[in-house]
Structure 1
Amino acid sequence: MARILERTVLFADLRGSTGLFERLGNAAASTLVTGAVTQLGECVERGGGHVVKTLGDGLMAVFENATSAVAAADAMHQALQRLSRGSNVPAASALKLQVAMARGEVVEIESDCFGDAVNVAARLLDHAGDNETLVTVDVLAGLQPAQQMRFRALDRLQLRGRAEPVQVHLLQGRQAMADGAATQFGDALPMPGQPEALRLVWGGQERIFATAQLPLVLGRSPQAACCIDDSRVSRSHARIDWHGGAFQFTDLSFNGSYIRFTHDRAVLSLRRGSCTLHGSGEIGLGVPPGDTRTPVVRFEVLRLAEDTLPAPGTGITR
């Protein structure tokens, strides 16, 4: 018999498992991944949730309230860290955890769950970077104010199959909260000598983003702050955050991102990974920078006095 329930839906996924099978072989990799997923499931059950099903190298779970779901996500990340440090298999450190949550009505039928919240959480998982937890605004609304301060608002993301973009928030770890000079509004204030703005140039456009305008999304979606209409670029391909006094670039795509810093011939390849942007250089979305047909974004980290930033309406955004 079908039941309609209000639930927080959580999807967790271990990325990097494919490489483990190549490096360790089927038996050893299966043992490692299965053990990791089992630990994730134990975090769910200890947190008062219910594992609906396992999905190879991940799982789907439901919780009655958002607080329990967020606590379970914290426990999952901690469990994976312990596994990486304590395992006698060095390759275990290649496993990265992505978690996504949405809240709403779900239809429970024969031990499985269906509904819009399930679809949103599953598709939001595609936008999570390594060791990140993303939640919708409905999940955030179910938390106490002190818990809400651990989250930072991201752009409204366009999820596959949905007409309207979804407002998404990123869970910040306790250490990350301590790293910045947080204000009562959750933003970090630039310290003297720190970068104050980021110039991006692409497709004949040039915009300057102040730290207060971050995070921003680069991608093919019309809602992206840096919109690049190219089939090799994902709808939400990458994200740039202001974190810990630096500009942090995170790849969210399937094709990867490639960064080449000025005066450095080497190209840094990122697949669901992150790096700090410094100085200036080029970002190749989907393919390495190299020729005029490559979808490239040029960047430059700026240190500008307040009165030198361009005024609104000049075509260059602060």
Structure 2
Amino acid sequence: MTELCILFADIADSTSLFEKHGDEAARSAIAAVLDALLKEAEKHQGELVKTIGDEIMCVFPKANHALLAAIEMQNSVSGNFVLGNHPIAIRVGFHFGDVIEEDGDVFGDAVNVAARMTGYAKKGQVITNSITFKACILPPFLNHRSLGKTKIKGKLLPVEIVEILWQQDTSQVTRVTSAIDIKIPTSKSQLQIELNGRKQIMTDQSPTKTIGRGDDCDIQVAMLMASRFHGDIQFGGGNFKYTDESTNGTWIQQDGSEPIRIHRESMVLHGAGQIAFGELDFSNRDELLHFKIIK
């Protein structure tokens, strides 16, 4: 085992680049951005592990190296890369912990947690967790904020998510109320979810259920357009809510109404319905997540 900081950086909404500008232009733009990200990583002792489509995975000797690289990555991309009239933005997540190094790749819990941090990040964000953040020294001109606690697969206790506010002017940053400050009303409702014939029941006491193609997700989906970490379902504010954290978005059909697409936002689930991941395709029942509120 070796202690390293794993960092993932990917291009937000890259699918729309291909849709609006074609394969050749999109690939060229993505390659230019990834090259810029790698240069910033190398300045802070980062090493490229692999490139995965529109994403790079790097390792750093210490958490602080990854923090500084993440800040410089955002600064290097923000406002500097535009395809047509489409500004290109990135999402960055990192985590420090034990990994196994093998054949030029790294494996282990720290890799999975780092990938989850990136999944929580929205465009223009740098996300880590309180465990990794405590190992960092934040430059004096920067701030951070807690985004509350969430359950991560493989961790017994909820993990506090931390956003690094790399922009010096934070006046436009939306205020977030920490999850530990929210008084959640009691509820007797249950949520029945079913995917490919497998049923689960969630209650107000259930931990967050993560959904995606990744092996570390609680609910794994096979749809080709689904993200590694696509979204999650959790109980909050007296309701069960689905939150999309994906590249391509989520389609939710409730009580027989027309499907609604959400992208990097939440929707309260009510009645019964179906969820499609990444594309508007409700033709294959086995690829859909079916849900039902049970009072």
TM class, shorter-length: 0.5 to 0.7
Match of 1:49 among 24, 45, 66: 45
Q: CA–CA distance in 2 between the matches of 1:13 and 1:260?
A: 29
Measure how far apart 1:276 and its partner are: 2.4
Label 1:71 to 1:259 Cα distance change in 2 as closer, same or farther (>3 A).
farther
Q: Is the 1:11–1:121 Cα contact (8 Å) retained in structure 2? A: no
Q: CA–CA distance in 2 between the matches of 1:23 and 1:201?
A: 38
Label 1:253 to 1:31 Cα distance change in 2 as closer, same or farther (>3 A).
closer
Match of 1:297 among 269, 275, 291: 291
Q: Is the 2:91–2:122 Cα contact (8 Å) retained in structure 1? A: yes
Measure how far apart 1:98 and its partner are: 4.9
Q: Does 1:259 align with 2:252?
A: yes
Q: CA–CA distance in 2 between the matches of 1:103 and 1:253?
A: 26
Measure how far apart 1:284 and its partner are: 1.2
Q: Is the 1:153–1:169 Cα contact (8 Å) retained in structure 2? A: yes
Question: Deviation string for 1:187-218 (max 9, x for gaps)?
Answer: 24259xxx8868533357664427xx764435
Match of 1:104 among 72, 76, 98: 98
Provide the residue aligned with 2:7 in structure 1: 10
Label 1:205 to 1:45 Cα distance change in 2 as closer, same or farther (>3 A).
closer
Provide the residue aligned with 2:264 in structure 1: 274
Q: Is the 2:6–2:110 Cα contact (8 Å) retained in structure 1? A: yes
The gaps in structure 1 that reach 5 residues or longer are: 159-163, 301-315
Provide the aligned C-alpha RMSD in A: 5.3
TM-score for the superposition, normalised by structure 1: 0.58
Which SS does the other structure have where 1:172 is aligned? Answer: strand
Provide the residue aligned with 1:150 in structure 2: 146
Question: Deviation string for 1:39-65 (max 9, x for gaps)?
Answer: 32344345x232435625332333232
Provide the residue aligned with 2:275 in structure 1: 284
Percent identity of the aligned residues? 15
Question: Deviation string for 1:82-138 (max 9, x for gaps)?
Answer: 346xx3622345x553534342356598xx564547854686578556436565786
Aligned residues: 272
Label 1:113 to 1:200 Cα distance change in 2 as closer, same or farther (>3 A).
closer
TM-score for the superposition, normalised by structure 2: 0.61
Q: Does 1:200 align with 2:180?
A: no
Residue type of the partner of 2:65?
Answer: S
Considering fraction of residues, name the structure with more helix: 1
Q: Which has the larger radius of gyration?
A: 1
Q: Is the 2:8–2:58 Cα contact (8 Å) retained in structure 1? A: yes
Q: Is the 1:100–1:128 Cα contact (8 Å) retained in structure 2? A: no
Label 1:106 to 1:36 Cα distance change in 2 as closer, same or farther (>3 A).
same
Q: CA–CA distance in 2 between the matches of 1:244 and 1:31?
A: 44
Q: Is the 2:270–2:293 Cα contact (8 Å) retained in structure 1? A: yes
The gaps in structure 2 that reach 5 residues or longer are: none
Match of 1:209 among 191, 204, 229: 204
Which SS does the other structure have where 1:82 is aligned? Answer: coil
Label 1:91 to 1:243 Cα distance change in 2 as closer, same or farther (>3 A).
farther
Provide the residue aligned with 2:243 in structure 1: 249
Match of 1:187 among 177, 180, 186: 180
Label 1:127 to 1:30 Cα distance change in 2 as closer, same or farther (>3 A).
closer
Q: Does 1:38 align with 2:38?
A: no
